[in-house]
Structure 1
């Protein structure tokens, strides 16, 4: 079964999904061991970042040697492609106005995606102001949408749906001081009715539960897991 079909199958049954975001440059054996211990509670692993020095394919190979969780590329640019992955979030940065992140990089990546046989999942990527300037805003040369501008954010997500994108990703950025608000998540989900990913600034099981209750289908844990892999057990126990 294709990865996107698996995601939708879980959504149809009401299953909320946890994805771990792994930065190749900060990947550690401690992270890998924590994922292995809690494999049955982790639905997806995203690998990538705004900028990286390490070869992403090597990191993915190490992950797949240890666990059977689907690994999806979360690429910051065209250098972060690998045939070792199971799928690719084909990100369109629809909150920005930089054409390189709307179509330019996609054109460059398309031949490699086809060559590697990767499953592309067209995803509308909306970067929100999470309380601090993040690497994604700097690297992409785009401004995040003010988090309180709900109408703009909802309209942006809706435009992504009308363009044919299959998922929406609300992102406050790595190391954000706070995640997207449950109110915003509820408005986007109730208007767009697409699989909804929420990431950035999630620090507690309570925040995670509130985002799930508001309509998030997939929650991404990144910096928290990166700084302390053992926190994964507390998060999982808190939401189960």
Structure 2
């Protein structure tokens, strides 16, 4: 194992043993100030959050640099880039989800952005995680759908989601990320998550539209290995505490049965 495989090995190992994880998504454009970010970081560390995901479909200012610097200074949690384009690369992160938008038919986000980013990432110390990115309909056009100029998979078509996931796995992608998108009206249905989970063996990340502990629990019980919450926590910090407790509860029950 090389130093550039640590995050992927962690995700794969936890998925294999049925252990659940919680990632807090930080969009640099939505960070109000340093004090609010410090509060979020310390709360995340205190309550056992597993990862920080950093990024967004559209980053419009220069806050990415100081956000990642503060995350690295104030915690030891893995900082994983969740890029919206090849511009969202930062050398101080631990890893990057190298996203290929397999749910759409826009070559720019299927392979174009990746070609531009590849030589930069090759020279970096970042762990590059090949990730199949699947947008799923949420009842509203999200920023991700608009920027990528793609149609999301319908939230009531689990067979399409499953076939897309299987194709991504067969193409060699090591992780799948199902996302309803930032500002989604509703989360991805547990039925869709469950069908995808039964169709593939790679780790499954699920995010978008999760605004309650119950929605997070349903996603995890349906088969998500990692739940990602951003907007919900921005509006309600107590959601972080609630979801952390749910993840611990599910993992605790797993330990009992083991």
Work out whether the TM-score is over 0.5. yes
Shift of 1:26: 1.1
- Alpha-carbon distance between aligned partners in 2 of 1:214 and 1:82, rounded to the nearest angstrom: 33
Shift of 1:58: 2.3
User: Equivalent residue for 1:78?
Assistant: 86
| Structure 1 runs of 4+ with >6 Å offset | none
Taking the TM superposition and a 5 Å limit, the aligned residue runs for 1:1-240 are: 2-27=6-31, 28=33, 29-39=35-45, 40-55=47-62, 56-239=64-247, 240=249
Residue deviations 1:8-41 (CA, integer Å, cap 9, x gap): 2222333200001110111243243233133152
Shift of 1:110: 0.7
CA RMSD for the aligned pairs?
1.5
Residue deviations 1:151-173 (CA, integer Å, cap 9, x gap): 11110111001110011111111
Shift of 1:118: 1.2
1:36 to 1:107, Cα distance in 2 relative to 1, 3 A: same
- Alpha-carbon distance between aligned partners in 1 of 2:44 and 2:107, rounded to the nearest angstrom: 39
The alignment of Structure 1 onto Structure 2 pairs a total of residues equal to: 240
- Alpha-carbon distance between aligned partners in 2 of 1:135 and 1:206, rounded to the nearest angstrom: 25
* SS in structure 1 of the partner of residue 80 of structure 2: strand
TM-score, structure 2 as length reference? 0.89
Residue deviations 1:79-104 (CA, integer Å, cap 9, x gap): 10010110000000001111010111
Q: Give the unaligned 5+ runs of structure 1.
A: none
TM-score, structure 1 as length reference? 0.95
- Alpha-carbon distance between aligned partners in 2 of 1:141 and 1:130, rounded to the nearest angstrom: 16
Are the equivalent residues in 2 in contact too, given 1:73–1:87 (CA < 8 A)? Answer: yes
Are the equivalent residues in 1 in contact too, given 2:191–2:222 (CA < 8 A)? Answer: yes
